[in-house]
Amino acid sequence: MSYRLPDPALAALLRDMPKAELHVHIEGTLEPELIFALAERNQVDLPYADVASLREAYAFSDLQSFLDIYYAGASVLLHEQDFYDMARAYLARAVSDHVLHAEIFFDPQTHTARGVPMASVINGLYRACRDAERDWGISCTLILCFLRHLSEDDAFRTLAQAMPLRDRFIGIGLDSSELGHPPEKFARVFAHCRELGLHLVAHAGEEGPAAYVWSALDTLQVERIDHGVQAHQDEALMQRLARERIALTVCPLSNQKLQVFPDLALHNLPQMLDAGVAVTVNSDDPAYFGGYINENFEQLFAATGMGPRQAYQLARNSLEAGFVGEARKKAWVQQLDDCFVRNGFAAAIDAG
Ligand code: HPA
Ligand SMILES: [Zn+2]
């Protein structure tokens, strides 16, 4: 089900308000047109005849059915310039959606397993971030994700390969198939990353149970939870998330596409926000799930009937949950306040 906002003033506010994107997989921003262009450039065979038939395959029943196609799409990425072009396209889009700051996930094991050098992956993405900052003023950092369906030893090897480029990523995440791969499987490698001074996040409670969110917090000691929507099943967990202001990077269109919620109108984000949890809105894999961050905001608000007060809270949560210094956060929140005043929604600031 796709939703449209009937209120043009609210739609304009959601579009124009400054925001941060804290949960986007760069490989999930690879649009079918770019997949085919890179396939041709790199002479990679694809099991789809054209862009239209690839898009037709984007009908998912759960996380795994998506991941199978997502990893196939990433097979066209071979050279540093491919990673640069992919990230450049995403960042241009983020700028037009008024994203001030993006923390971008990448999955190195998806590429190194095919013989792509770690340096090609990280240097291509990093150069795109620096160029976007120079050209468009967007702030942009990288988070290296371990694939949880692989072993912890594989994660350690991946970390070792990335260490010569340690200054080019700020944190570590955990993604891929959740069920059967609980956070504690990666306890030792996360403890090591913590000692290295890396920020820590993990996907938990997307399809997996609330127990995985507890484990990500207590065993991995992550600073944010990616998705986390299953926390709603556990009142004690909800209270902890709210009390400790642990941000959840929620991805509404992803949750609908992967059938975590059968329909956006049934999404629990409004209740989580009401319960005082620091929820944020993000796009996850926008090329596959039918929309970038502003489309996530617009459709979610249209489906659930939320208004300017919640828009303010969500944007503010995102600007405050990034891994950046307090002075920059304060300046960004000032820009957010100015936007709400300019658009005639000053009351939403005071209510928030
Ligand atoms: O939503 C997701 N969940 C887990 N792994 C992923 N890798 C890309 N997107 C996702
Ligand atoms: Zn994700």
pLDDT in tens, 247-297: 999 999 999 999 999 999 999 999 999 999 999 999 999 999 999 999 999
In a domain, 200, yes or no: yes
In a domain, 352, yes or no: no
In a domain, 146, yes or no: yes
Q: What is the pLDDT of residue 351?
A: 72
Q: What is the pLDDT of residue 350?
A: 76
How many domains is the chain built from? 1
Ligand 2 centroid to residue 229 C-alpha, Å: 12
In a domain, 302, yes or no: yes
Among protein residues, the one with the nearest Cα to ligand 1's atom 6 is 176
Q: What is the pLDDT of residue 1?
A: 86
63 lines ligand 1 (CB under 6 A): yes
Residues placed in the known binding site for substrate? 285
In a domain, 2, yes or no: no
Q: In this prediction, does ipTM exceed 0.90? A: yes
Q: Render 122-180 in DSSP notation, one character per residue.
A: HHHHHHHHHHHHHHH--EEEEEEEEETTS-HHHHHHHHHHHGGGGGG--EEEEES--TT
Ligand 2 centroid to residue 344 C-alpha, Å: 34
Domain at 209, CATH number: 3.20.20.140
176 lines ligand 1 (CB under 6 A): yes
Check if the beta carbon of residue 302 is closer than 8 Å to that of residue 5. Answer: yes
In a domain, 350, yes or no: no
In a domain, 1, yes or no: no
Helix axes 326-342, 8-16, angle to 10 degrees: 160
69 CB burial (10 A radius; 0-12, 13-18, 19+) = middle
Q: Mean pLDDT in each 10-residue stretch from start to end of the chain (352 residues)?
A: 94 98 98 98 95 95 95 96 98 98 98 98 99 98 99 98 98 98 98 98 98 98 98 98 98 98 98 98 98 98 98 98 98 98 94 66
Q: What is the largest CA-CA distance in the chain?
A: 56
Pick the catalytic residue: 206, 207, 295, 320?
A: 206
- Active-site residue, 184 included: no
Q: Which domain holds residue 48?
A: 8-345
Q: What is the pLDDT of residue 352?
A: 59
Among protein residues, the one with the nearest Cα to ligand 1's atom 5 is 176
In a domain, 351, yes or no: no
Single pTM value for the model: 0.98
